[in-house]
Amino acid sequence: MPETQSPEEFVKKSRVLIVEDHAATRLAMAKLIRQTGAEVVSARDGEEALGLLLLQRFDVLLTDLKMPVMDGFELLKSCHTLPPTHRPERIIAISGEYESSVLGTQPVQFLPKPFNLKALLEMLGGKPN
């Protein structure tokens, strides 16, 4: 995020990829983030998300950790092998089953479920990983 850009401006101009297997949660997060002015794309699992990351550029990856097909842990591992031009500036892992310690030293921010919109928006507008 450029030094002169506020967190709110960053969110407004961001492309966000939401990866969440629970449809209602995925749709609610997408709607709320879109209301800030961000462009939002969503995926049902890590495999679908990885395909999108290979084809498009996203500023933020917001991913659940526990999902079928390819979980968030595998997705995070795969993100680090993407060409630099396809790696999101910021990665935020969300989970109701795990704690932040499961991420070890990875450059990933963590948001426990359930979370409130203010906490999510603050994290989206914060500093990159």
This prediction's pTM: 0.86
Question: What pLDDT score does 55 carry?
Answer: 94
Indicate whether 129 belongs to any domain: no
State the Cα angle at 127 between 15 and 33, rounded to 5°: 35
Strand 15-19 vs strand 60-64: parallel, antiparallel, or unpaired? parallel
Indicate whether 2 belongs to any domain: no
Q: Is the dihedral of CA 106, 68, 120, 41 positive or negative?
A: positive
Indicate whether 61 belongs to any domain: yes
- Give the distance between the most distant pair of CA atoms in the chain: 40
Indicate whether 33 belongs to any domain: yes
Question: What pLDDT score does 57 carry?
Answer: 94
Number of domains in the chain: 1
pLDDT tens figures, 48-106: 999 999 999 999 999 999 999 999 999 999 998 999 999 998 999 999 887 888 887 77
Question: What pLDDT score does 126 carry?
Answer: 57
Domain that holds residue 112: 7-124
Can you give the CATH number for the domain in which 75 is found? 3.40.50.2300
Indicate whether 13 belongs to any domain: yes
Question: What pLDDT score does 1 carry?
Answer: 47
